Amino acid sequence: MAKELELKYGCNPNQKPSRIFIEEGELPVTVLNGRPGYINFMDALNSWQLVKELKEATGLPSAASFKHVSPAGAAVGLPLTEVERKIYFTGDQELSPIACAYARARGADRMSSYGDWAALSDICDADTANLIKKEVSDGVIAPGYTEEALEILRSKRKGSYNVVQIDPDYVPDPIERKQVFGITFEQGRNNIKIDDSLFTNIVTANKDLPEEAVRDLKIALITLKYTQSNSVAYAKGGQAIGIGAGQQSRVHCTRLAGNKADNWWMRQNPKVLALPFRDDIRRADRDNTIDVYIGEEYEDVLRDGTWQNLFTEKPEPLTVEEKKEWLAKNTGVSLGSDAFFPFGDNIERAHKSGVCYIAEPGGSIRDDNVIETCDRYGMTMVFNGIRLFHH
């Protein structure tokens, strides 16, 4: 390990010189392959904090997919269903728990994860490395790598793939600083723990909060802790399924995250799973095509004959009625917000995406309206009393 590491450039090629360094001791990171840049390390260090905390909170191996200092996905290492294997393109081979976590994190929002940075809470094994190898990705951070995994990753992207190892025992200074326009900002690190104690203040008429919902609310809140604010996250089945980041209006966060959650669910529709793709279609093009097929613009693809470049035969489109019927089947979704909901419109939008459980700080002058809207739909809502802004 070293005290500093020179980088190629900063956020943009004209921003030179660039480096990461530590004032006392040595950097807790070692570059095992490639040459990570400024944004790579921003993603790596934020995503590592997320997966480390997620494992501490759930006891399960955890993974995250990051783009531009916000997660596109985060998940714990639960086994994959057959449908999930299909929509995440994992194949039929057995997968380790950390590989399952990565597949879930990468698969939540595959379009946003294109060119991502991956983070793993556990040692990267060959199962995980083989999944990463197939994806368009900038790099990975983990506490260690098996020899086989490292060999696989070093062969990716013509040998230039970024592989970073971090000391899992590293503890940063409790005070953090950064500069903006030549002025130094200083604050205490956000060391608040997301644990069971945050889910006791149930404010709705419905008090039902199953263990699985608590787990998913933990995933949502820990994800939000490292997401550019304002932010909202939907979670289900041990993973984030829709993240709305960096919006000025909270309802826009809720809509954006809800649309992503809907897209994740629509990918599991039998018609989508049965799409007759040509064998020469690349993974990324399949992702884009699935989004087009799910969306309103698919009629244009059918009309102009583009479908012949994608499919072996002309697929029948999903009707509006079929979409509504399928979306209505998505239930038991958990929703976390990094600050209070100011209006009931957020709850109305969340209800459309199957949300049954909500965690938010509370403290709005319109809390009564928000609670009333939850009660109308039989939702369970917790006021956790903590704000999780991240900038």
Question: Is beta strand 4-7 parallel, antiparallel or unpaired with respect to 116-120?
Answer: unpaired
Question: Is beta strand 333-337 parallel, antiparallel or unpaired with respect to 380-383?
Answer: unpaired
Helices marked H in the chain — which ranges? 38-58, 82-87, 97-107, 126-134, 147-154, 211-225, 250-266, 270-273, 283-294, 298-304, 320-327, 345-352, 367-376
Do 130 and 87 contact (CB within 8 A), yes or no? no
Hey, what amino acid is at 365?
A: I
311 torsion bin: left (phi>0), alpha (psi -120 to 50), beta (else)? beta
How many CB atoms sit inside 10 A of residue 118's CB?
29
How many CB atoms sit inside 10 A of residue 204's CB?
22
Phi, psi of 199 (to 5 degrees): -120, 30
Cα–Cα distance for residue pair 7/11, rounded to 1 Å? 10
Burial of 259 (0-12, 13-18, 19+ CB in 10 A): middle
Cα–Cα distances (Å) from 223 to 9, 320, 327, in that order, read: 28, 32, 24
Radius of gyration of the chain (CA): 21
Active site residue 67: yes
119 torsion bin: left (phi>0), alpha (psi -120 to 50), beta (else)? beta
The one catalytic residue in 162, 230, 263, 330 is 230
Burial of 284 (0-12, 13-18, 19+ CB in 10 A): middle
The one catalytic residue in 52, 55, 67, 218 is 67
| H or E element in which residue 139 lies | strand 137-142
Token reading at 139: 């790099």
Catalytic residues: 67-68, 230, 391
